[in-house]
Structure 1
Amino acid sequence: MAWKSKTRSLQVFDTELSADAVEWCPVSPNHSILACGTYQLQKGGGEENATPSRIGRVYLFEFRHEGPMCPPLTELQRMDTAAILDLKWCHVPVSDRAVLGMATATGELQLYTLSRSQEGSHSLQSLSSLEVGAERLALSLDWSTGRLDSSDVRIVCSDSAGCTSVLSLAEGALTTLSQWKAHDFEAWISAFSYWDTQLVYSGGDDCKLKGWDLRIGPSSPTFISKRHSMGVCSIHSNPHREHILATGSYDEQVLLWDGRNMRQPLSETPLGGGVWRLKWHPSHQHLLLAACMHNDFHILHCQQALEGSAGACPIVTSYILHSSLAYGADWSRLSLEDHTPCSPPATEPKESPAESRGHLRIQYESPTASFDTSLEDDAGRYIPEGTAAPQTSPAPVPTLNPDEDAPSLSCLLASCSFYDHMLHVWRWDWTPEQAVQESQQC
C-alpha cells in the first residue's frame, strides 16, 4: 500500500537566545506541556582575552486546542538559567509530579518539578541540583525510566571533560553513584539501555561509541566501536524493541545496532548533516526522528532494517522550514484527532542549495565553542567540502505501513534551531493514498 506523507507548520516562536533542546512532557495528564532550552555564548566585552560567558533560558509552553484561528502554543513561563546543553523529562512521575532535568554550561545537572497552581496554571519549581565537575559543561542527560519503570530512578550525564556520571534521585535529592573518564575529548552524549538499566552507552568527540556495565564498574568498557568516522553525538535506546539502539554522528550517518553484536550495525543511513539528536517515537516502534544540524529534520522508517534488511532506512518525511542548525526535536504523545491545522502545508524547495549557486560561508561553532569549521550556503544548509549537496526531498516509500496497521497516523512534533533562535511546532500526517483519494471524491 502506498502512503501519502505531509507536514504542516502550526506555530513558530522566537526564543531570542539560540535554541538547542526541546521536549514534550511524557507524563500524563501533562502531554500538552512543552519545554525548550536555550544556549547563548557571549563574547567578552571588547577585551581580546576576555573569557566568554554562557547564558540560557528555559521556556515552558502549553499546547491548547482552541480552534484553527488561534495559535496553539501558549507561553506559561520563561526562566533565565545557565546555558542549557540538553533537557529531558523523566518518563514517570516522581512523588506524583513530572520532573524536568537540564544539563547546563556550569557543569550542573538541575532538576525542576512541574507544579500546578489553584488557578490551573503550570510552572517549573526548582527541586535539586548537583555539579558533576568543576570547569566543565554538562552536555547531555538521559533517564533510566524509558520503559516507564519507576522502581529505580537514575540519570546518566556526560560532560566536556570526557566524563560520564550516573546519579540517583531519591527523596528529591541527587546523589552521584559513579563517575569515570569515558572519552579523550568531549563526551557529547550518554544514554541508558532502557531494557537493562545497568547498561550505559556513551559517545564522544574521539569518534568512539562505548558500552558500560555498571555491575562490573567502569574500569573498562564492554565494547568500543569506531564505526563512526567523526564525533558521536546522539544515542537513543528503542523503548519498544529490546537490544535496538540508534546512534548518530558528525559524520552524517545514523546507525542502528543490535546491542548483542556491536561489531557491525544493522543499517547505515546517510542524512546529509551531523546527527545531533535522535528520538524513537513514543508508541510506534519503527519511527525515528533525527535532528540533522545542517540538513533539517527527518523521520526514518526503520522496519526493514530491524527485520534484517541491510539497506538504509527510508525517509518518510522531512521538515525543512528552519533556516539554521537543527538541534532539538521531539515527539508529543498528545492526540491530534480533534485539532485542525491552522497554516498551509510545508512545501519542498524548488531547487537544492547546489542548484541555487549560493556562495559558501563559514558559520558554525560547536556547543562548547571548541571549533569553527563547517560550510553553509545562503540558506544555512551544510555543504561538505568536495561533495555535492544532499537532496532535500525524501525518497519514495511505497511499501511501508505504520505500526499496528493504523488507517492513518497524525503526530505532533516540536523542533528548534540555533542561530535563528526559533522553535517550531508542527504536525505530520501519514495517510494511505486510497484514503486520500476517497476523501477528495466526497
Structure 2
Amino acid sequence: MSEPTIQTPQSERTVFLDQPPSCLEFCPEDPDYFVVGTYLLSETKNEDGETVQKKTGSLQLWKLDPVSLQLTHIQTLTIPEAAIFDLHFHPRHRSILAIATSAGTVSLFRVARSNDTGSPVIQHLRTITVREDDRSIPALFLAWVPPERRVLRGEVADGFAVTFSDGKTSVFGIHSGNLEKDEFEEAATFEARESIEVWFAAWGLFRDDNHGDKNIAPFLFTGDDFGSLHTRRFVTISGEDNDDDSTTELLPPVLLDHDDRARHHTAGLTSILPLPLPLVNGAPLLLTGSYDEFLRVYHATRRGEVLADTRLDGGVWRLQFVGAPMESGNTLSFLVLASCMHAGARVLRVTRRSESADEVGEWDIEVLAQFTEHESMNYASGIWRGDEGGAVDSNGKRKLLCVSSSFYDRRVCVSKAEV
C-alpha cells in the first residue's frame, strides 16, 4: 500500500511584522480577527561598556478576510515594559484575553468594537503581578480554568494557572467572577523541584467511572524543560461546594501528585493537549509535544506510557484541536494543528480504535498537511473558526484556513488545506 500524500500548501498571503511574533489566537467573539503577541529583545551598551538587555512587546490586532484571504492590520498596542510569552482568550468571556509577560505579570485586555469605527479594538483592563517576590522572573504560560466551573470552589469563581522560568507554577483566582475589578488571590503555588522553565500548563476534566456521582476529575498538567510531565489531580468539587460562595479555599486539595521524571520525552515538554476521553485505569490520555520533535499519544500514569508517536521534523511547540472529534463505529479521530518551531505548521489526524471507553485502544497519527515556508521558529499558528474550524463538504473533507507565524523573520502567512 502506498503512503498517503501529504499536502504541502503554499502561502496565499504573507505579511511581515515590526516585531517577532511569539503567540497568536483568533478572537472567539469576532472570528475574522486575531491577536498577535510579540517579543523583542534589544541590547545596548551602557557607559561602562556592559551589554544591557531590554524586553518589550506589543499586541497587534489583524483581520483575515476569509474570501479574499487579505490580511489587514487594525491596531498595535505597545507593551513597553515587557515582552509577551503567551496569550489566551477566556473560555467564557469570549472578548477577554490574558497575556503572560517577561516582567512576571499577567495582563487582561478586551477586544471590543469601537463606537466610533464599529471595528474591534484592544483595550487594556488590568495588570496582575503574579511574582511579587521577583519581577525579573518571567511568566511563561497561562491556562484559564475550564469553562465548566469544576476546578475552583464557588459557582462564579474564576482564575488561571501560570508557569514561570524558575520552575514554579501558581494558580490565581477570584470568588465573584468579576475579572475586571475583583482582586485575584494566589490560590496555590507549587514550588519548583528543580529551577528550570515550566513551558506549559493544561487543565483537564475527565470522567471517572469509578467515583459515582463525583465522577468528574479535575487535573492540572505541567511540562518542563527537562522533559518531565507533572500530573496533579484535585479533589472533585460537589454541587454543594460550588453553591457555597463563602468557602475561603478556592482550590480543592491535591488528591494525586506525580512526575514521570522525563522517562519518555527526551527534551523539553512544550505542549500538552488533554484528550476528551474518560480516565483509563485511573489515568488520563493526552497528546504531548516536545523539543525532541515528537508528537506522542500519552497515558499519564505514574510512570507514563507512550501509546503512539511520530516525528514532525521540528520541536512541537503548540498543539490545538481543529473542530470537534469525529466518531464512526469504534473509531474516534481528532484533527490537530501543530506549530513545529523550525519545521512550520502541521495538520494531523490522531485516531483511536477501541471496543469500549475503558480501554487504552490502538492509536495512529497521520500528517495530512504541512506548511513549510517559514524561515525561522514557528511558535504560533491558528485556524480561522468562522465556520467552526472548517466546514465539512459532501465528500467528508474539511476546508481549513490557517494563519501561521515565524519569529526571527517576523512573518505571518495564510495557507489553505483540505483534510
Bin the TM-score by the shorter chain. 0.7 to 0.9
Equivalent in 263, 281, 290 of residue 338 of structure 2:
290
Which runs of 5 or more residues in structure 1 are unaligned? 340-401, 431-442
After superposition, give the CA deviation of every residue in 1:178-213 in whole Å (9 maximum; x if it has no partner).
Answer: 112245211111111144673100011132110113
SS in 2 for 1:199: strand
Equivalent in 308, 311, 330 of residue 382 of structure 2:
330
Match of 2:211 in 1: none
TM-score computed with the length of structure 1 as normaliser = 0.73
Q: Which moved more, 1:253-262 or 1:116-125?
A: 253-262
Equivalent in 202, 205, 230 of residue 267 of structure 2:
230
What is the Cα deviation at residue 405 of structure 1? 8.4
AA paired with 2:55? R
AA paired with 1:140? F
Match of 1:160 in 2: 165
Contact 1:91-1:148 within 8 A present in 2 as well: no
Q: Distance in 1 between matches of 2:349 and 2:163?
A: 29
What is the Cα deviation at residue 252 of structure 1? 1.3
AA paired with 1:273? G
Equivalent in 184, 203, 206 of residue 223 of structure 2:
203
Contact 2:86-2:100 within 8 A present in 1 as well: yes
Q: Distance in 1 between matches of 2:205 and 2:118?
A: 33
After superposition, give the CA deviation of every residue in 1:356-402 in whole Å (9 maximum; x if it has no partner).
Answer: xxxxxxxxxxxxxxxxxxxxxxxxxxxxxxxxxxxxxxxxxxxxxx8
AA paired with 2:169? T
Equivalent in 310, 313, 316 of residue 368 of structure 2:
316
Q: Distance in 2 between matches of 1:175 and 1:238?
A: 29
Contact 2:274-2:286 within 8 A present in 1 as well: yes
Q: Distance in 2 between matches of 1:337 and 1:20?
A: 22
Contact 2:322-2:389 within 8 A present in 1 as well: no
SS in 1 for 2:412: strand
What is the Cα deviation at residue 241 of structure 1? 7.4
Q: 1:192 to 1:9 in 2, by over 3 A?
A: same
Equivalent in 267, 286, 292 of residue 245 of structure 1:
286
Contact 2:45-2:52 within 8 A present in 1 as well: no
Contact 2:143-2:203 within 8 A present in 1 as well: yes
Contact 2:323-2:390 within 8 A present in 1 as well: no
AA paired with 2:145? S
Q: Distance in 2 between matches of 1:58 and 1:336?
A: 24
Match of 2:137 in 1: 136
What is the Cα deviation at residue 217 of structure 1? 4.1
What is the Cα deviation at residue 258 of structure 1? 3.6
Equivalent in 107, 110, 121 of residue 110 of structure 1:
107
Q: Distance in 1 between matches of 2:389 and 2:52?
A: 51
After superposition, give the CA deviation of every residue in 1:240-288 in whole Å (9 maximum; x if it has no partner).
Answer: 7774321111111111124467620221221122111111223245111
**1:428 matches 2:417:** yes
Listed as ranges, the matches of 1:377-396 within 5 Å are none
Contact 1:246-1:255 within 8 A present in 2 as well: yes
Q: Distance in 1 between matches of 2:99 and 2:53?
A: 21
Match of 2:9 in 1: 7
Listed as ranges, the matches of 1:45-194 within 5 Å are 45=45, 48-65=49-66, 68=68, 72-81=70-79, 82-93=82-93, 98-118=95-115, 119-133=117-131, 134=134, 135-145=136-146, 152-169=157-174, 170-172=177-179, 173=182, 174-184=184-194, 185-194=196-205
Match of 1:374 in 2: none
What is the Cα deviation at residue 83 of structure 1? 0.5
Contact 2:351-2:363 within 8 A present in 1 as well: no
Q: Distance in 2 between matches of 1:62 and 1:183?
A: 43
Contact 1:213-1:222 within 8 A present in 2 as well: no
What is the Cα deviation at residue 160 of structure 1? 0.6
SS in 1 for 2:9: strand
Structure with higher strand content: 2
Higher relative contact order (CA 8 A, sep 6+): 1
Contact 1:18-1:38 within 8 A present in 2 as well: yes
SS in 1 for 2:198: coil
Contact 1:225-1:263 within 8 A present in 2 as well: no
- RMSD across aligned positions (CA): 3.2
SS in 1 for 2:257: coil
Match of 2:28 in 1: 26
SS in 2 for 1:51: strand
What is the Cα deviation at residue 293 of structure 1? 1.1
Q: Which moved more, 1:244-253 or 1:192-201?
A: 192-201
Q: Distance in 2 between matches of 1:331 and 1:48?
A: 46
Q: Distance in 1 between matches of 2:159 and 2:293?
A: 30
What is the Cα deviation at residue 129 of structure 1? 1.9
What is the Cα deviation at residue 73 of structure 1? 2.2
AA paired with 1:17? Q
Q: 1:53 to 1:217 in 2, by over 3 A?
A: farther
Q: 1:244 to 1:33 in 2, by over 3 A?
A: farther
Q: Distance in 1 between matches of 2:415 and 2:90?
A: 23
After superposition, give the CA deviation of every residue in 1:3-49 in whole Å (9 maximum; x if it has no partner).
Answer: 8846352322212211111111234xx11120111111112336653
Which runs of 5 or more residues in structure 2 are unaligned? 207-215, 236-251, 326-332, 355-359
Q: Which moved more, 1:219-228 or 1:268-277?
A: 219-228
